[in-house]
Structure 1
Amino acid sequence: MGRESFAIGQVRVRPGSRKDVELPITRLVTGGDVSLPVQIVHGKYDGPTIWVSAAIHGEEVMGVEVVRRLLATLNPKHLHGTLMAVPVVNVLGFMTGDRYLPDRRDLNRAFPGSPRGSLASRIAHLFMEEVVSKCELGIDLHTAADRRANLPQLRGDLDDPRTYGLAKVFGAPVMLHAKLRDGSLRQAATEAGSMVLLYESGEAMRFDELSIGTGVAGIRRVMAHLGMIEEVVEQPAAPTLESRESNWIRARGTGIFQLECELGDMVESGRRLGRTSDTFGRGGRLVRADRDGIVIGLTRAPIVNAGDGLVHVAQITSTDG
């Protein structure tokens, strides 16, 4: 007996096929409809159902390209299980390059949402009902916030053995234990019984091949581990570093910041990471590492104020060898 068709919204997708689905969100003042775009890749053979999502913050475009390239590698006639691909969750923010929705709400603080709440709450509810409720695992793709950059890293609950195992399989340069944030997709999905891996890499409104390639390869490794695809998947270039704690080194004063480190640098406590000074180069103040670790994030803003995060350093617990 073959697999059943996959139901989403008012649509059913036959085994061994793929289909684009538009889930209605709202109507613009001009009368045009806004929908959540989802592509269902419903495998011919039985297997797990997972989702991959991106652009829950509208300016975080890197993940959209990861989803696009991932889909290009999949053949539903050979796939075991089902992939729900949601390249743009915050459709309205994505169209304007804005992190937030038009009402300035952060969609990733609106989960699990409500069918009668704010626009953010309604989108969150739609995503939970039509995507999360059907899946046992989700991979959510993010980048750094505006004027920051992140090293490819996998975040999740590393105290959960299955999450820990899949984080190692993903093979990002760093896996970071991350607490759940109230209102986030990861918190709501976890409470609903799904496991979530959060991939962070790159910069807002930018594509870069390291972030994209690491994301596509990592998702494919997870899918291969789950038995969804059979293709030989390239292994990571280096072992994954594990971190249980990370902190931003912050500016102690206002000035122009000259960065003297890069993403992925291994630093020792006391190492010089940069220097702040005024517009004439006077009043220089050195910025030094206050712990040993690896640089997983940094600012791209040359002008900083006291308290601004400059360099994000993760302390290394162990190496996945």
Structure 2
Amino acid sequence: MARASFEIGGVRVRAGKSQSLSLPITRLVTGADVELPVRVVHGREPGPTVWIDAAIHGDEAVGVEVVRQVLAALDPKTLCGTLIAVPIVNVLGFMTGSRYLPDRRDLNRSFPGSARGSLASRIAHLMMTEVVAKCEVGIDLHTGSDRRSNLPQIRTDLEDPRTRELAAAFGAPVMLHAKLRDGSLRHAAREQGAKVLLYEAGEAWRMDAWAIDAGVRGVRRVLAALGMTDPVDEEPPPPSAESWRSSWVRARGTGMLHLEADLGQRVEAGERLGGLFDSFGKRVRLVHADRAGIVIGRTEAPLVNSGDAVVHLAEVEPTPEPPPGPPAPEG
């Protein structure tokens, strides 16, 4: 018996087919319509329903390219289940390179939204009712903000066993237990029972190839772990480092920043991370790690003021010692 078609936004997508559609958001003063772009890949065989989204913050371009590459490699005739892809959620912000909507609202603090609320609230409500409500698992793609770059990482609820399994399957260098924020897509989706992974990598308004590549590989691994696609043909990635706490090292002075800490670098408490210099090149302050951890984020701003966040460190669980092997045979 043929699998039933998939309905979204009044459009029905037949099994074994892909289809693009647009969900209406608002109308500009010019009379042009603003719409949420969606592509549905409805597999021929049954399986989970999953969404991937990007650009909830309009200046975060990495995830848009991740979605494009993931879609390019999917065949609905062999896919088990259904994938809903929303490459640009904050359409108005993306068109102007702005993190926020025109009214300065942060879309990722506006979920689950309302059909009669602000513009942000209406977009959030549209995303929740037409996309999230139909899905069991979601992958929300982000980058660093405010002249910051992030190491590829998964932020999620590591206390939930199934979510933890999916985070480990993604294979990012770090998986971080992250508290839920009221108004975020991840919080609203979890309230509806979905398992959500939030991917962070790269810098805002840049197409960092390394962040894109890690994201594409990770999404493909999750789809394979869910049984939607064949396993990815690659060498297995190293296990993700696990972190339950992270915080920023802050500048203790003002100056031009020369950072010596790279993304992914493991540092010890007290280790030198860089220095601050005045406009003549005189060093005015050193920056040191206040704890041991992995550098998962860093500022890219050349000038920092006292108190500014400089380096984001994730404390990681120690790698367990391998069990002792059998005793060597006697000669």
Determine the structure 1 residue equivalent to 2:232: 232
**Aligned residue pairs: how many?**
321
Query: Runs of 4 or more off by more than 6 Å in structure 1?
Result: none
Q: Take 1:318 and 1:37, find their aligned partners in 2: how far apart are those partners?
A: 43
Determine the structure 2 residue equivalent to 1:150: 150
Instruction: Quote the offset at 1:280 in angstroms.
Output: 1.6
Letter in 2 for 1:87: P
Q: Take 1:9 and 1:302, find their aligned partners in 2: how far apart are those partners?
A: 46
Instruction: Quote the offset at 1:252 in angstroms.
Output: 1.0
Q: Take 2:161 and 2:132, find their aligned partners in 1: how far apart are those partners?
A: 21
Letter in 2 for 1:296: I
Determine the structure 2 residue equivalent to 1:117: 117
Instruction: Quote the offset at 1:236 in angstroms.
Output: 4.3
Q: Take 2:195 and 2:240, find their aligned partners in 1: how far apart are those partners?
A: 20
Q: Take 1:171 and 1:210, find their aligned partners in 2: how far apart are those partners?
A: 14
Determine the structure 1 residue equivalent to 2:91: 91
Q: In the TM superposition, what are the counterparts of 1:42-121 in structure 2 within 5 Å?
A: 42-121=42-121
Q: Is the 8 A contact 1:143 1:202 kept in 2?
A: yes
Q: Take 2:296 and 2:26, find their aligned partners in 1: how far apart are those partners?
A: 38
Q: Deviations over 1:204-262 (max 9, x none)?
A: 01112211111111111111111100243424442210000111000112111111111
Unaligned runs of 5+ in 2: 323-331
Letter in 2 for 1:95: M
| Structure 2 residue 289 is the aligned partner of structure 1 residue 289 | yes
Determine the structure 1 residue equivalent to 2:268: 268
Moved more, 10-19 or 250-259: 250-259
Letter in 1 for 2:170: F
Q: Take 1:4 and 1:78, find their aligned partners in 2: how far apart are those partners?
A: 16
Unaligned runs of 5+ in 1: none
Letter in 2 for 1:290: D
Letter in 2 for 1:83: L
Letter in 1 for 2:83: L
Determine the structure 1 residue equivalent to 2:32: 32
Q: What secondary structure does 2:317 align onto?
A: strand
Determine the structure 1 residue equivalent to 2:279: 279
Determine the structure 1 residue equivalent to 2:299: 299
RMSD: 1.2
Q: Is the 8 A contact 1:224 1:233 kept in 2?
A: no
Letter in 1 for 2:115: P
Determine the structure 1 residue equivalent to 2:200: 200
Q: Take 1:319 and 1:21, find their aligned partners in 2: how far apart are those partners?
A: 46
Q: Take 1:235 and 1:110, find their aligned partners in 2: how far apart are those partners?
A: 40
Q: Is the 8 A contact 2:275 2:283 kept in 1?
A: no
Q: Is the 8 A contact 1:256 1:279 kept in 2?
A: yes
Instruction: Quote the offset at 1:175 in angstroms.
Output: 0.3
Moved more, 221-230 or 128-137: 221-230
Letter in 2 for 1:32: A
Q: Is the 8 A contact 1:44 1:81 kept in 2?
A: yes
Q: TM-score, normalised by structure 1?
A: 0.98
Q: Is the 8 A contact 2:220 2:232 kept in 1?
A: no
Q: Is the 8 A contact 1:54 1:88 kept in 2?
A: yes
| Structure 2 residue 185 is the aligned partner of structure 1 residue 185 | yes
Instruction: Quote the offset at 1:19 in angstroms.
Output: 0.3
Determine the structure 1 residue equivalent to 2:129: 129
Q: Take 1:46 and 1:266, find their aligned partners in 2: how far apart are those partners?
A: 43
Letter in 1 for 2:174: V
Q: TM-score, normalised by structure 2?
A: 0.95
Structure number with bigger Rg: 2
Instruction: Quote the offset at 1:146 in angstroms.
Output: 2.5
Q: Take 1:104 and 1:221, find their aligned partners in 2: how far apart are those partners?
A: 36
Q: What secondary structure does 1:168 align onto?
A: helix
Q: Take 2:290 and 2:233, find their aligned partners in 1: how far apart are those partners?
A: 38
Q: Take 2:267 and 2:236, find their aligned partners in 1: how far apart are those partners?
A: 22
Instruction: Quote the offset at 1:319 in angstroms.
Output: 4.5
Q: Is the 8 A contact 1:37 1:88 kept in 2?
A: yes
Q: Is the 8 A contact 1:240 1:319 kept in 2?
A: no
> Identity across aligned pairs (percent)?
66
| Structure 2 residue 232 is the aligned partner of structure 1 residue 256 | no
Moved more, 274-283 or 293-302: 274-283
Q: Take 1:69 and 1:208, find their aligned partners in 2: how far apart are those partners?
A: 14
Q: Take 2:233 and 2:305, find their aligned partners in 1: how far apart are those partners?
A: 45
